[in-house]
Amino acid sequence: MNAQSVTTHLRTLGHRISRAREAIIEIFSSTTKPLTAIDVLLTLEKVGLPVNKTTVYRELEFLLAQHLLQEVQIESGIIHYESAAQDHHHHLICQTCKQIVAVDPKEIEQGIDKLARRVRINEGFTISDHSLEFYGHCAHCQ
Amino acid sequence: MNAQSVTTHLRTLGHRISRAREAIIEIFSSTTKPLTAIDVLLTLEKVGLPVNKTTVYRELEFLLAQHLLQEVQIESGIIHYESAAQDHHHHLICQTCKQIVAVDPKEIEQGIDKLARRVRINEGFTISDHSLEFYGHCAHCQ
DNA sequence: GCACTATATGCAAACTAGTTGCGTTTGTCA
DNA sequence: TGACAAACGCAACTAGTTTGCATATAGTGC
């Protein structure tokens, strides 16, 4: 997710590029970590661009609708977002410091797809997506 | 999770078996579906044993601490609980009607363990658990 | 069966994440 | 530079969950 190309893309679709929107796009293009609305709010404050929480929630919803962000199902109770431009991947979540790291799942993906096919047959489900998270402790917190 | 043996176990640990506690244990031992606090509250009402929501939340916390229930990471925003006595498994979530079905993952588990080992080496993470959910549409909602 | 006491419960209020309505500001284009 | 719709801020609201405190009750000993 390149901030420059994203803003150009949005502009061609007729959307405005406000300072808040630009900053939020910049935040997500400079990290692969899943962020919450609160994370974004605090980051904007730190950067000297304080914004109302309503604006943050609406902007995340907007970027989601534009398929520039995607929701991540992680820790219960709080919605996390990450750039949608990343390759499909999974997460590694430290149960102590709560840091989240992306994992490239190439080798396992095939196995998941195989299971998904079998499940579809057995249960009558059509599977369109999946999420896989690993919980444990990072090098620091062991 | 056998309701009878659970209550006996709790009694030997010095915990009381109130009617609410007994009913909640009974609910979880008679289903494999992950339930929310609200689900439990409504079920208790239906059964003719209305209980305050605070009690439900405290009871779920208690059973979690006793390792008789476990949290399930599913749809964002609401905590789901299920019996901890079930074999390790994953979930199938219908994006339309929100119903949740358990999936026995035998064949895929090996692949996940393999990935987990590699990840541990690469990132310095120690992995103690994982969650895998499939999203799609059930036979009814297709 | 009765009294005692700590555990479990109910109620009300608070808290957190997220949402909505509405009036105001501002980015973009002519 | 002015017009106007998109984006914004504010305040109030909702849902899920938590907390403090006073009350009820399960389990123990008499």
What residues of chain B lie within 8 A of the CB of A102, using their CB? none
Residue B136 in contact with partner chain A when CB distance is under 8 A:
yes
**Protein A27 CA to nucleic acid C23 C1', in Å?**
30
**Chain C bases closer than 7 A to any CB of the protein:** 7-13, 17-21, 26-29
Stronger pLDDT, B114 or B70, i.e. the higher one: B70
Answer for the pair B103, B56: CB distance below 8 angstroms, yes or no: no
Give the percent of chain B with pLDDT over 90. 49
Mean pLDDT across the stretch B2-6?
A: 90
pLDDT at A12 over 60: yes
DSSP letter string, A11-80 = HHTT----HHHHHHHHHHHT--S-EEHHHHHHHHHHTT----HHHHHHHHHHHHHTTSEEEE--STTS-E
pLDDT for position B46: 94
**Protein A19 CA to nucleic acid D6 C1', in Å?**
13
Walk me through the domains of chain A, giving residue ranges and CATH numbers: 3-83 (1.10.10.10), 90-141 (3.30.1490.190)
Q: How far apart are CA B112 and CA B99, in angstroms?
A: 25
Closest CA to A87 of A111, A63, A65, A70: A70
Which of A82-91, A124-133, B48-57 has the highest mean predicted lDDT (pLDDT)? B48-57
Q: With bands split at pLDDT 50, 70 and 90, how would you rate the model's confidence at B109?
A: confident
pLDDT for position B56: 98
Calculate how close chain B gets to A51, using CA atoms only, in Å: 23
Planar angle of CA B47, B92, A71, nearest 5 degrees: 105
DSSP letter string, chain B = --HHHHHHHHHHTT----HHHHHHHHHHHT--S-B-HHHHHHHHHHTT----HHHHHHHHHHHHHTTSEEEE--STTS-EEEETTSPS-EEEEETTT--EEEE--HHHHHHHHHHHHHHHHHH--EEEEEEEEEEEE-GGG-
